[in-house]
A = this chain, B = another copy of it.
Amino acid sequence: MLTKKELKEFCAEARENYLPHISIDCVVFGFHEGIMKVLVLKVQNEDEWYLPGGFMLKNEPIEKAADRILKERTTLDKIFLQQFQVFGDPERSKEHFDMYKDMLPAKENWFSNRFLTIGYYALVDFFETNPNPDQFAESCQWRGLDDLPDLKLDHALILKTALDTLRLQLNYQPIGYNLMPKEFTMPELQKLYEAILDKKLDRRNFQRRMLGFGILTRSDEPRKGGAHKAPYLYSFDLKNYEAALKEGFKGGW
């Protein structure tokens, strides 16, 4: 929570630069050790958590704003972003309103606004990401889907909706490509699908199907060093991948 002075400065700057009533919240997915993880921020000195988000400059395209916000949180540049829903319950930002209502009169208090928030999900390479807190937060960290803190406002709903969208879009968006590192093994890719779909898949059928799509290139060198039999390394053949995505991976009518 901000001090009165910080709040006043923030509000003055916000009113000058940002569109009122509108915010952006992002669900940033990363994949690590077989678990889907999400970036969350922790409020200073409180056990309160929220999703990375921010506001839109008065003359900024929405996607640019999401990009800018996420660059600040992750240090990453060309992030894969997908807008998935606007959340606009008139009561949704009440917590923020209550928190700051006594510190500044409504007229100059940015948080006395009702906010619609535009939800984006982002897919990033876990290993390339350096989480960075924003000015309200004490930390910014990865948390597994099975280990999420309670989130403030309607951020739990936003996260759930993002996950549902991810599941639905698995066959239409380059989800594997954006979440996996450049090279990966087939079992690793399978774990990603299992994490997103929340179910076990058959190893042999998964491999056959994936290879059948013709979107993977097998490297000459297997991964070394680990225990057990050395698995092959694969990478996405981006050209074939994008062509296949246009059709969707399932077939359809």
Contact = CB atoms under 8 A, between A and B. Distances in A.
Contacts of A170: 253
A83 interface: yes
Copies of this protein, total: 2
B88 A62 contact: yes
Contact of A21 (B22, B168, B172): B22
A129 to B, nearest CB: 26
Interface string A1-43: 0000000000000000001111000000000000000000000
Contact of A89 (B61, B85, B116, B250): B61
A253 B199 contact: yes
Nearest to A171: B252
Contacts of A250: 250-252
A197 B247 CA distance: 13
A59 interface: yes
Contacts of A59: 90, 114
A85 B88 contact: no
A150 interface: no
A187 to B, nearest CB: 16
A184 to B, nearest CB: 19
